[in-house]
A and B are shown apart, each in its own frame.
Chain A
Amino acid sequence: ELKVEQNPLFLSMQEGKNYTIYCNYSTTSDRLYWYRQDPGKSLESLFVLLSNGAVKQEGRLMASLDTKARLSTLHITAAVHDLSATYFCAVDSSPSGTYKYIFGTGTRLKVLA
């Protein structure tokens, strides 16, 4: 059974600092997704990573995927308060033709002014 773990679970950081959130998964997959969730809100898609070595960047966030290590990272550069949210990774665990996401535990990020 696929398991997806994130660390840290909670992250409090100062504005302007850099940090990385890690997403490890236990079985082979080459499709990984990052989502953001604000309190009381639904999920917003951030990144879609579909192959080994994929790297995507949007603003202060950069995501990468290493399928051999079964690891994805979400790097935050020069954090700002607006990035405070919960971040989830999700791994597509299914054979081609059906899409079954297993979500990570989530990382609750708080950026302090």
Chain B
Amino acid sequence: SAVISQKPSRDICQRGTSLTIQCQVDSQVTMMFWYRQQPGQSLTLIATANQGSEATYESGFVIDKFPISRPNLTFSTLTVSNMSPEDSSIYLCSVELAGGPYEQYFGPGTRLTVT
């Protein structure tokens, strides 16, 4: 398994500002993922972040709004830019360990409220 931490755990931000969320893993991983979970809803994949390459974004998510960095095998950041109240969600990072067992481990999440 993997131990994943996220910072901040929660934040309240004003409309129009940006927030960068950090995800740190205790072991080197190839695949890192960012998800959004709106209140009472399921999880939606935002993007896949591989070290050394540009993030791959899912339909409905764009780099200008959600820029992602992946500088090494244990760390990634997701920025939520020019925030609006509709961005209020829980943002979770997850990792998949190289060599199996082919499951994703999730961080504790960042609860974002935009006012």
Contacts and interface: CB of A to CB of B under 8 A. Distances in A.
A45 B106 CA distance: 9
Nearest to B107: A42
Interface stretch (A11-19, A59-67, A75-83, A103-111): A103-111
Given A48-B101, A100-B48, A43 B106 contact: yes
A88 to B, nearest CB: 6
Range, interface on chain A: 20 to 34
Contact of A99 (B44, B104, B107): B104
Interface of A: 31, 33, 35, 41-43, 45, 48, 50, 88, 90, 92, 98-106
Interface string B77-115: 000000000000000101010000111111111000000
Nearest to A89: B42
Given A42-B107, A42-B108, A101 B45 contact: yes
A99 B101 contact: no
Nearest to A98: B48
A100 B102 contact: no
Contacts of B106: 35, 42-43
